[in-house]
């Protein structure tokens, strides 16, 4: 086995220019199982979206901090089921949280293996940036992505579709959420960068816009700020969250 690949991270969440409050929540921390990175985009009336996203982060961190030694894909799936249970339970106990939910994208990096395991539900995304190219590794659980997958809509048409914000899956909406765990871990190479984001970034910026910012020589935290700034300058219609992990 080669030398473990270390990393540095930058994480930033912004209200955007339109929304009255920020319903996104992010996490970037080290746990016994590895480095955890997470972006949640909450939804629901009043403060319910914020609550759902907060509960998701808390439940995942709590589960993973005390979890038994399981294969990483199982850990991620169980952690997200715990998060779903916490949100679903609270939504049924308190009327003000009725039908609250959150998208979630989550990644677990095992430094000793040099592998990144990830899972998602909804339309928060994970990208791999490698050798100047950006690769989208998750497919949105959204109405327009369903149409694209069926060949009824082109990716270009999807970007402008009036129902592009409609998601088909989220944590908290049912007792058995349809979580998608990546079948294969990403084998990380030195120089790689991982981006997790809420749709407030990718609905404002194209993949080539994001790639252009990651191609700059800016320090990692400055790249996170540049991504958020560009999304705001493009309209900032939603909360914007980014987590970057650069492997060195």
pLDDT of the residue at 46:
66
Decide: pTM greater than 0.85.
Answer: yes
| Residue 107: count of CB within 10 angstroms of its CB | 26
pLDDT in tens, 94-114: 999 999 999 999 999 999 999
Residue 47 has pLDDT above 90, yes or no: no
Least confident of 22-26, 58-62, 139-143, 188-192: 139-143
Which H/E stretch holds residue 158?
helix 155-160
| 217, 223 contact by CB (below 8 A) | no
More confident residue, 45 or 180: 180
Q: Are residues 207 and 135 in contact, defined by beta-carbon separation less than 8 angstroms?
A: no
**Tokens of residue 18, six digits:** 């339109």
> In this structure, what is the dihedral angle of CA atoms 226, 200, 37, 100, given to the nearest 10 degrees?
150
Domains in the chain: boundaries: 7-247
**7-247 — its CATH code?**
3.60.40.10
Confidence of residue 2 (pLDDT cuts 50, 70, 90): low
pLDDT at position 93 over 60: yes
In the chain, alpha helices (H): 48-66, 72-93, 143-149, 155-160, 199-202, 207-214, 220-233
Alpha-carbon separation of residue 24 from 69, 72, 114 (angstroms): 30, 25, 29
pLDDT for position 185? 98
Which residues, other chains included, contact 95 with Cβ-Cβ below 8 Å and sequence gap of 6+? none
- Specify the 3-state DSSP secondary structure of 126: strand
What pLDDT, on the 0 to 100 scale, is given for residue 186? 97
């Amino acid at each position: 086995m080669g030398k473990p690949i270390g990393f540095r991270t930058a994480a930033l969440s912004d209200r955007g220019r339109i929304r009255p409050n920020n319903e996104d929540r992010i996490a970037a921390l080290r746990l016994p199982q590895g480095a955890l990175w997470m972006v949640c985009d909450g939804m629901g009336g009043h403060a319910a979206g914020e609550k759902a996203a907060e509960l998701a982060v808390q439940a995942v961190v709590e589960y993973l901090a005390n979890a038994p030694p399981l294969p990483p894909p199982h850990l991620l799936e169980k952690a997200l089921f715990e998060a779903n249970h916490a949100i679903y339970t609270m939504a049924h106990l308190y009327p003000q949280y009725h039908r609250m939910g959150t998208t979630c994208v989550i990644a677990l990096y095992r430094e000793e293996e040099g592998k990144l395991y990830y899972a998602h539900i909804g339309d928060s995304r994970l990208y791999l940036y490698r050798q100047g190219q950006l690769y989208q590794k998750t497919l949105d659980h959204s109405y327009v992505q369903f149409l694209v997958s069926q060949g009824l809509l082109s990716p270009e048409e999807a970007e402008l579709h009036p129902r592009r914000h409609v998601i088909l899956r989220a944590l908290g909406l049912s007792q058995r959420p349809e979580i998608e765990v990546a079948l294969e871990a990403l084998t990380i190479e030195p120089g790689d960068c991982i981006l997790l984001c809420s749709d407030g970034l990718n609905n404002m910026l194209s993949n080539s816009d994001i790639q252009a910012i990651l191609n700059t020589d800016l320090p990692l935290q400055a790249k996170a700020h540049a991504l958020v700034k560009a999304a705001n300058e493009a309209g900032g219609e939603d909360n914007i969250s980014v987590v970057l992990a650069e492997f060195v």
